[in-house]
Homo-oligomer: A and B are copies of this chain.
Amino acid sequence: MMRRRTFLQGAAAVGAAALLPRRASAAADLKPIYAQVDKHHGEALARLQAWIKQPTIAAESRGITEGRDLTMRMLRDAGFGKVESVSTDGHPGIFATLDAGAPRTIGVYFMYDVKQVDPKEWSSPPWDAALVDLPKLGKVVMGRGAVNQKGPEAAFLSALHAIRGAGKKLPVNLVLVAEGEEEDGSPHFGEAVHRADVQAALAGCQAINMPSASQTLDGNVDITLGAKGVVQVELRASGERWGRGPKRDIHSGMRPAVDSPIYHLVLALASLVTPDGVDPAIDGMEAKVRPLSDFEKKLVADVAARRDEKTFQKEFSIEHWARDLSYRESLERLSGRPTVNIQGLVAGYQGPAGKTILPHAGVAKLDIRLVPDLKAEDVLKMLRAHLDKRGFADIEIVNQGSYDPNTTPYDALGTRTQLAVYRAAGFEPLVIPRSGGSWPGYLFTEAPLKLPTMHFGLGYGRGAHSKDEIFVVEPKGPKVEGIAGAVRSHVDLLYTFASIK
């Protein structure tokens, strides 16, 4: 194995990145650890499969206790000295520490829950964690949570096993916090994080890492400098609340003289977006959107230059960007724009053909993604005021988990560590100002902790929140790493974090 440290720094050098050699040589002292990674590959895979086979779905209150207990066992097995369940008003969090007596401490964020599934959509059952051979990718594990987030998290734990297996002490201390409600909008994670002893332990960290699969099929690896906030709400319209329309489903023959709560909801939804359906139109939101800075735009331009557009579109089954904007503009939007999205509509008759009813109620499930300087609490108020002003005061807004966006500086210790590790592995990372998704990182990046965050890890997966979610186990080509490469990257991260200036 060849591993060399590149000296390219920052966005200025990115043009040359695609030409860099891959698989640079390993630092000599990590070789025994890498040997452990290779030797225990089967255990690393089995660890991930066992985890996937335990569904934990917050929205369905499914497998919470079992998932938490399994995660706690896995943490103890990986060497965490103290592993505690942290009760909240919702599903419990986990607090774990590993004191290696090292000068630096890295915080780790885990989620032990996964998204819901519709099993009949899947080509292999989502809880089977089956090994599947894909023609282009190679051997993958398929199952809910494979990439979001158990694959990367299991790889991180396997790195701890490998270091211990090589007879070495961790080069950093660890403080881990986990939750079982991430996919539900982390409604109670703040309670766990704010517990005095947890907060004190986190305050001793220099960064927070959420293990991730950061490679893409075009041979790149991503660093993200933040994530969006999210407001997840249900808008509920009903004749009961409105005082208009029927209070139960009635014969639709009454429609000429009776208001329709569903149409009321549809008109409210239409008012929340621009006429082309693309941008939010909630009063007051736009004024709070902080435009991307020139530096952020430069980062995005680099992504546009180096990430293949067609491959990216194909990954998400799309052919055209909204408004037929350019690739660069679309990537800027992914990092820089808030959204109003309808996740689902549940209203009236759902069965085959028709029922000729005038339904009394309907529900729209929205997720509203936030960029700085939008705050979840403010957006909830803006939404309420927007609806009130337009005659939709009766429409109930049910908050189902909302939090603020988060930002990590480009020059933060965590960011510099990632750049160094990836470059040492032969990659010049694509630096994305803000990911399109959300996680409760604001609990770390904002006061009082003000910690930089990372979403680190080699490896590749896809299908988060979708069907046929996968994580690559043994890649066919050289484009992405499998489990072993992911585990090695976490070894590298810990050693680099311990020593980087």
Q: Which residues of A contact B (CB under 8 A)?
A: 58-60, 115-116, 183-185, 228, 230, 232, 239, 243-260, 262-264, 266-267, 269-270, 273, 275, 277-278, 316-322, 325, 330-331, 333-334, 336-339, 341-360, 362, 365, 367, 369, 400-401, 435-438, 464-467
Cβ B277 vs Cβ A436 within 8 A:
no
Measured in the bound complex, the distance between the Cα atoms of B355 and A319 in whole Å is 23
A464–chain B nearest beta-carbon distance, Å: 5
- A250-B466, A320-B244 known; A358 and B331 CB under 8 Å? no
The interface residues of chain B lying within 8 Å CB-to-CB of A60 are: 351-352
Give CA–CA (A53, B230) in the complex, Å: 50
- Tell me which residues across on chain B come within 8 A of A266, comparing CB atoms: 266, 269-270, 277, 342, 345
Assess the A347–B355 pair: CB atoms within 8 A. no
Chain B residues within an 8 Å CB radius of A278 = 259
Copies of this chain:
2
CA A278 to CA B270, docked complex, whole Å: 16
Chain B residue numbers with a CB within 8 Å of A438 are 253, 356
User: How far, in whole Å, are A249 and B468 apart by their CA atoms in the complex?
Assistant: 11
CA A336 – CA B465 in complex, angstroms? 48
Is A351's CB under 8 angstroms from B270's CB?
Answer: no
Select which of B232, B360, B400 is within 8 A of A317 by beta carbon: B360
| Cβ–Cβ < 8 Å partners of A347 in chain B | 342, 344-345
Q: Is the CB of B343 within 8 A of A356?
A: yes
From B239, B275, B338, B351, give the contact of A59 (CB < 8 A): B351
Q: Within the complex, what minimum Cβ distance (angstroms) separates A331 from chain B?
A: 7
Q: A111–B59 Cα gap in the complex (Å)?
A: 44
Query: Given A244-B320, A321-B257, A339-B252, are A465 and B357 also a contact pair (CB < 8 Å)?
Result: yes
